[in-house]
Amino acid sequence: MFKLDPEKELSEEALEALCMSGSDAIMVGGSTGITYENTVDLMSRVRRFELPCVQEVSDLEAVVPGFDLYLTPMVLNTEDVTWILERHRQGIERYGYMIPWELVVPEGYIVLNPEAAVAKLTGAKASLTEDAIAAYAQIADKLMSLPIVYLEYSGIFGEMDTVRRVRRGLEQARLFYGGGITGPSQAIEAASAADTVIVGNIIYDDLEQALSTVAAVKGTAE
C-alpha cells in the first residue's frame, strides 16, 4: 500500500503511475499539515482510478467523506491519552450520528522511530525492547481485539526479527509494517515479515524505486 501525504506535491503522472502500479490500495494520511482541503483534493485525484483509497485519520478537521475505509490509529506506546482515547472521544462526540462505523477500522499503532514526526507529535516512547514491542502487539491483538497492529518505523527501516516475532504472537490481527522502505529488497524483506507493507517517503524522493516495490512484494520482480 502506498501512503500519500496530502501536504506534499505529487504530479499527475506520478499519481497515475502509483495508482496503476498494481498496488493493493492507496492510504491518504500524514502527521502534520493535513487539512480538509488538501485531503479532499488528493482523494478526488485518486478516485479517478479503480484501486481502493482509504484515509488514515489523524486530524478531526480533515476527516473527509467518500473514502473506502477510515483507518483510525490508537497509539499504544504513549502515555498521552490524547492519542489513545481522547481524540477519538472528541470525534465521536462531534460526528457520532454520521460516522459510518462499518467503514471504521482501528489500528493499534506502535511507534518505533523516536525521531519521526509521529513520535514527537504523540509523545510516543519509541525506544522499546523487543519484549515490550511484542507485548504491546499482544495488547492490541488479544486484549483490545484490534484488527490491525501497525509497526510504525516511519523514516527508518525496522528490525525484521522484531517484526517476525510480533507476527508470530498475533492471533487475529493483521500486521502492518511501515518505515524506511526505499526499494525492492527492503520491500521483499518487510513483506516476508509482515502481512501488509506501507511505502511512504520514497514516493517523493525516488518514484521509480517506490514503484518497483510493488512487483517485488507481489513476487513478480525479475
Number of shown-chain residues binding ligand 1GP (CB under 6 A):
13
SS3 state at 109? strand
Using the rule CB under 6 A, which residue among 178, 197, 213, 216 binds ligand 1GP? 178
Q: Is 3 in the site for ligand 1GP (CB under 6 A)?
A: yes
Q: Is 6 in the site for ligand 1GP (CB under 6 A)?
A: no
CA 114 to CA 108: how far, in whole Å?
17
For 196, list phi and psi in degrees, rounded to 5.
-135, 135
Q: Is 147 in the site for ligand 1GP (CB under 6 A)?
A: no
Shortest distance, position 98 Cβ to ligand 1GP, whole Å: 27
CA 158 to CA 2: how far, in whole Å?
17
Nearer to ligand 1GP, 99 or 184 (CB): 184
Using the rule CB under 6 A, which residue among 200, 213, 216, 217 binds ligand 1GP? 200
Nearer to ligand 1GP, 134 or 198 (CB): 198
Using the rule CB under 6 A, which residue among 107, 141, 152, 189 binds ligand 1GP? 152
CA 8 to CA 41: how far, in whole Å?
12
CA 65 to CA 197: how far, in whole Å?
25
Using the rule CB under 6 A, which residue among 1, 10, 181, 216 binds ligand 1GP? 181
Indicate the residue whose CB is closest to ligand 1GP.
178
DSSP class per residue in 51-78: S-EEEE---GGG--TT-SEEEEEEETTB
Nearer to ligand 1GP, 34 or 199 (CB): 199
Lookup: cell for 15:
499519481
CA 215 to CA 148: how far, in whole Å?
24
CA 158 to CA 178: how far, in whole Å?
8
Q: Is 180 in the site for ligand 1GP (CB under 6 A)?
A: yes
Task: Please choose, out of 16-24, 73-81, 137-145, 178-186, the segment that lies near ligand 1GP by the rule CB under 6 A.
Answer: 178-186
CA dihedral 53, 137, 82, 64 (to 10 degrees): 10
Q: Is 155 in the site for ligand 1GP (CB under 6 A)?
A: yes
Distance from the Cα of residue 41 to its chain's centroid: 19
Name the site residues for ligand 1GP (rule: CB under 6 A): 3, 152, 154-155, 178-181, 198-202
